[in-house]
A and B are shown apart, each in its own frame.
Chain A
Amino acid sequence: MLFKISLSNIRKSIKDYAIYFFTLVLGVAVFYIFNAIETQTAFLRVSDDQRELIHILTTAISGVSVFIAVVLGLLIVYASRFLMKRRNKEFALYMMLGMSKRKISALLLCETVIIGIGSLFVGLMIGIGLSQVMSAVVANMFEADMNDYKFTVSGSAITKTILYFGIMYAVVMLRSGFVISKCRLITLMNSGKRSEKITMKNPWLCVIVFLISAAVLIWAYHTVGWDFEHINEKRIGLAILAGIVSTFFIFWSVSGMLLRVVMSAKGVYHRGLNSFTFRQISSKINTTIASMTVICLMLFVTICTLSTAFTIRNSLNKGVEDNFPVDFYGRFSLHTHDGTDDSSYRTGNIDDVYAQQNMSIYDDFDEYCHFHDYNESNFTFDTFAGDRKAELTGGSMSIYAMMNFDISFLKLSDYNAIMELYGQKQIELGDGEYAVSANAAGLPAMYDKLLEDSTEITVFGNTLKPSSEKCIISSFYPDIQASNTGTIIVPDNAVSEKYRGVDYFVGNYKATDKNGREAAEKTARDNWNNVMHRYQSGAGNGFMHGLETRIEAASNAIGIGALVTFLGLYIGFIFLVSCGAILALKELSESADSMPRYTMLRKLGVEEREISRSIFRQSGIFFLLPLLLACLHSYAGMRFAKIGLDLLVTDNYTKPVIFTAIILIAIYGGYFLLTFLGSKAIVKEQK
């Protein structure tokens, strides 16, 4: 009997429940898809490094899932509380007919169970279907082959989804049971008779609050996005807090001002349904300021997370492409303790290391450069910049500007040979001249200033002057990103081997195709590790060596990029769905409450087209307002991310922002469309 009533209740209020159910299904599906990645990727043939990265990815996802579950849980509790409020009349009727509170609770329990099981089932079905697509995406990202692919269902992800959502539904049931046990018949009965009081806020107060909030917000933007000299954790925290509070008060004041502004333009206000439309919007915003604030902040987080994640991924991939122009990069140096300078890694030759094992590094490579750099004791950026350091770094947002670092030297002939290998521009130097090469963010500009003033340097007993006013944007060593903080290139006769520093070897394998290069890499790597492992330095000193390869760098970049992208998508998607669902529920119930108003408008002879335009505007502004402010927030947020993460974010934001916008329009816009169509259907004349 109870079950029958529950079922018919759900069927009856299907319009209210549809979007709730839809959101639950989406939530379940997304939850499953991301948690099933581990199982889905088990069959992929990937390298050990990538397997490790996938493992990190899945661990991160299960960590984030807890947070996601909390967000979804709050959404579900909010939505169910909301749907319950709409049914107060119905509960009052049950109570009047003598149904006990326990029975009503049982009824609600029954309904939640039906909806819960239904949403879990449908969501898991969709999730299992889409996770097959996800496998392909992961395989594509890690460039793995999918030959062994077969349809996979992840039991652990199913268990986890059911467990997490089961807990959420249990919380909802407990909550609604509690609410029912506390409520009183008379309040339930009177809940429908709302005597809506329209309190117009004092317009001047609104203007003042708005101006103050705007000023505080601008301060917060400035602090995180522009004022990098004084930035510290305390100020960032304060700016975030100020941002949240001012967001709330901006909505508070806008809800009061918007109407006033439109009202003052009599020609606009008294045109068609405008007066009605704007009153509706204003009262809607007035009653949902807190939700609007939360939604705005969630949208802000979503936009920043998604676009930054995509940018990081692009930056990493592009970084490897641009900054790792050779297959193999090894370095070696002896650890010397001569006590005369603090540059303790000096001399050493890779050839000697190989020679000890009767091997030669040159066998593995088609083209290569073997060279070393030179160091002058205590020649650092500060030495170079002298008393102009503060002036140079003052306006810079770069992390490098805050540090001091050694500057090493290269012989002109070595530099040109390296550039030839990299396929980059070679340079010429006259006697007594030097050039500077750097590519780390912000540094070339600083060097330019020094070079423009023909700053002379005295190194290795020579005094040199700049050959050009421009710093060369290049790096002699490969890396996954532009990280050369400065190398000075001097004529061959200006250095002596006495100042010899680290020994470097860069080269390309003989093989040209993918498989050949992988095989060559394995040989070269094994050889390198082998000789380094067995090496005994003559004096018994320690030594250091390092090896990086293009293939390894690329797969790391892909892996980290994938990690960041997946987490961004996961969080972004759930946040967008939550925002959309809250707004949609609010708007739809608002439309249901306003139905008599639309009936009256029809009696007054308002055309359907006008009514649907009014509904469109109402939902449009309702959805657009938090988005607009979130976009403003995001602009400052992205500027902050660009600086705060300047080692990771080197690529520009344009494409990721467009991509984020597409996702946003698809999901948030989809909810808007559903809301608009739903509202239209609700207020449609029932015949």
Chain B
Amino acid sequence: MSLLRIQNIEKYYGNRSNLTKAVDDISFSVEKGEFTAIMGASGSGKTTLLNCISTIDRVTAGHIFLEDQDITQLKGRELNKFRRDKLGFIFQDFNLMDTLTAYENIALALSIQKRPAKDIDKAVKNVAEQLGITDVLGKYPYEMSGGQKQRVASARAIVTEPKLVLADEPTGALDSKSSKMLLERFNYLNREHNATIIMVTHDSFTASYASRVLFIKDGKLFNEIIRGNDSRRQFFDKIINVVTLLGGDVSDAL
């Protein structure tokens, strides 16, 4: 049984006379412990797709199942509860609370789940060690580098041990060294903790860290490649080939 099953989802914007199909009949499923990247040009609908999965946005049609629960049917408080307990988020612009320290930012994710304080301390320190941010725990976001911020954001996303981690352009605001470091952490989490990650990106290098890449064009699923036993380098070349096929925008982004 797949962890996440997406069945024929559609997301339309606009009105009858001017209809934009941001997501147009997409179906796929994600197994537990998979590291999936979704690639596409700007405006291809990849972020909309992610927003639908994360219940931040509502689908126009279709169903999304997470462990047999149809999340398109959730409402109000159930939605918040679902996001709080089942999902972890990583955003391009980090979205850390500028008023809280790194420690408190990570702890916030646990405290809104109403975890007891002594568990929180242990969990935060543990995850900080895995992501190599133990020494910045006392710092505020404005005192950290972009890479550190994104690793804090990642720590916040996984500290609750969510079923699914959703990352929206996590390397978008990072330099290449920080990107590499972050992605290696993702791999580590995926490998050691069997974390299921879905990552949206337009960067082939970033996507090459995933075990599987889905390509989206104009709201439709365009192609899918699986890394299998390839080295990261070989996988990267394969991705580049598809990107070339896709044409235009994405290759520009390289």
On A, residues with C-beta under 8 Å from B are: 195-198, 266-267, 269-276, 279-280, 283, 596-597, 600-608, 610
Contact = CB atoms under 8 A, between A and B. Distances in A.
Closest 10 pairs (CB-CB, A-B): A605-B84, A605-B83, A279-B99, A270-B111, A267-B117, A266-B117, A607-B80, A270-B117, A600-B95, A605-B80
Given A198-B99, A273-B112, A276-B99, A607 B77 contact: yes
B209 to A, nearest CB: 24
Contacts of A601: 112
Contacts of B183: none
B108 interface: yes
Contacts of B109: 604
B107 A270 contact: yes
A272 B112 contact: yes
24 contacts: A196-B98, A196-B99, A197-B142, A198-B98, A266-B121, A270-B120, A272-B112, A274-B111, A276-B99, A279-B99, A279-B100, A279-B104, A597-B97, A600-B95, A600-B97, A601-B112, A603-B54, A603-B56, A605-B80, A605-B87, A606-B112, A607-B84, A608-B76, A610-B112
B28 interface: no
B99 A280 contact: yes
A604 B108 contact: yes
Nearest to B114: A272
B82 interface: yes
Contacts of B99: 196, 198, 276, 279-280, 283, 597
Nearest to A280: B99
B117 A604 contact: no
A269 B107 CA distance: 10
Nearest to B121: A266
A600 B95 CA distance: 7
Task: Tell me which of A195, A279, A283, A605 has the highest count of chain B C-beta atoms within 10 A of its own C-beta.
Answer: A605
B78 to A, nearest CB: 10
Task: Tell me which of B56, B85, B98 has the highest count of chain A C-beta atoms within 10 A of its own C-beta.
Answer: B98
B235 interface: no
Given A267-B117, A271-B117, A605 B111 contact: no
Contacts, number: 83
B120 to A, nearest CB: 5
Contacts of B114: 271-272
A479 B251 CA distance: 99
Contacts of B112: 272-273, 601, 604-606, 610
B191 interface: no
Contacts of B142: 195-198
A607 B107 CA distance: 17
A606 B80 contact: yes
B65 interface: no
A579 B95 CA distance: 34
B89 interface: yes
Contact of B111 (A197, A275, A597, A600): A275
B108 A271 contact: no
B84 A604 contact: yes
Nearest to A600: B95
B110 interface: yes
Nearest to B79: A605
B159 to A, nearest CB: 11
Interface in B56-110: 56, 76-77, 80-85, 87, 89, 95, 97-100, 104, 107-110
B236 interface: no
A290 to B, nearest CB: 21
Contacts of A271: 111, 114, 117
Given A196-B99, A283-B99, A270 B110 contact: yes
Contact of A275 (B56, B80, B107): B107
Task: Tell me which of B112, B114, B117, B121 has the highest count of chain A C-beta atoms within 10 A of its own C-beta.
Answer: B112
Given A271-B117, A603-B56, A604-B109, 13 more contacts: A195-B142, A266-B121, A271-B114, A272-B112, A276-B97, A279-B104, A283-B99, A601-B112, A604-B84, A605-B85, A606-B80, A606-B112, A608-B76
Contacts of B107: 270, 275
Contacts of B54: 603
Contacts of A195: 142
A605 B81 CA distance: 6
A475 B1 CA distance: 99
Contacts of A597: 97-99
Contacts of B56: 603
A284 to B, nearest CB: 10
A668 to B, nearest CB: 27
